[in-house]
Amino acid sequence: AQSVTQLGSHVSVSEGALVLLRCNYSSSVPPYLFWYVQYPNQGLQLLLKYTSAATLVKGINGFEAEFKKSETSFHLTKPSAHMSDAAEYFCAVSRTSSSASKIIFGSGTRLSIRP
Amino acid sequence: ETGVTQSPTHLIKTRGQQVTLRCSSQSGHNTVSWYQQALGQGPQFIFQYYREEENGRGNFPPRFSGLQFPNYSSELNVNALELDDSALYLCASSPGQLTDTQYFGPGTRLTVL
């Protein structure tokens, strides 16, 4: 069964510092992996997705994630944090049956940015 | 291109009542999925509709039901509301039933008192 685990429910970094949000996946087949961002009182916005075309995936707002099969990881990074990056981040995996595709989400990591 | 829209934004109901939430898909998308996001948790899959038929369901009781219309808009109906139904309900659309990428609306915040 496919699932994701996000390590750390809350991460706090200083403005300008490196952002690293951790995600490990469990999948018996090559997974489709996603990172979504949720700003306060809003829906989910797709940051980036991995579909096996390339192990380093670049997304919006300067974020990127690297798929590491040997570590079953898909960590999200950004070289320099901005105050506007403060939000909840969800790692997710797609589970597709013969008739439907659904997304399985991790529990989320809240990112806080210190001035 | 219009994104996914949901209505209403907020809703307050009491236990035992029924509620209907609405979703308009992104243009060109024929598949709609609904998710429940309880406070402090990740979204949980409720069900998916493709061309007006339910084609996948998560671990939710039958009092959670849905409809999809010919224009691919959708409704989520919840009967006999319980306190634990209080959550953000998210609708997501995609261009196909087996398409992995889904695009989410802003959600409807339901409070059950």
pLDDT tens digits for range A14-25 = 999 999 999 999
Give the tens place of pLDDT for each residue, A23-32: 999 876 767 8
The answer, for B103 touching chain A at a CB cutoff of 8 Å, is: yes
Q: Mark yes or no for CB contact A44/B43 under 8 Å.
A: yes
Please indicate whether, in this complex, the C-beta atoms of B101 and A34 are within 8 angstroms of each other. Answer: yes
Question: Residues with Cβ < 8 Å from A53, sequence gap 6 or more?
Answer: none
Q: Are B85 and B109 in contact (CB under 8 A)?
A: no
- Percent of residues, chain B, with pLDDT higher than 70: 95
3-state class (DSSP) for residue B84: helix
Q: Return the HEC string of chain A.
A: CCEEEEECCEEEEECCCCEEEEEEEECCCCCCEEEEEECCCCCEEEEEEECCCCCEEECHHHCEEEEECCCCEEEEEECCCCHHHCEEEEEEEEEECCCCEEEEECCCEEEEEEC
A97 touches chain B (CB under 8 A): yes
Q: Give the number of A-B residue pairs with CB atoms closer than 8 Å.
A: 71
Residue with tokens 């529990």: A107
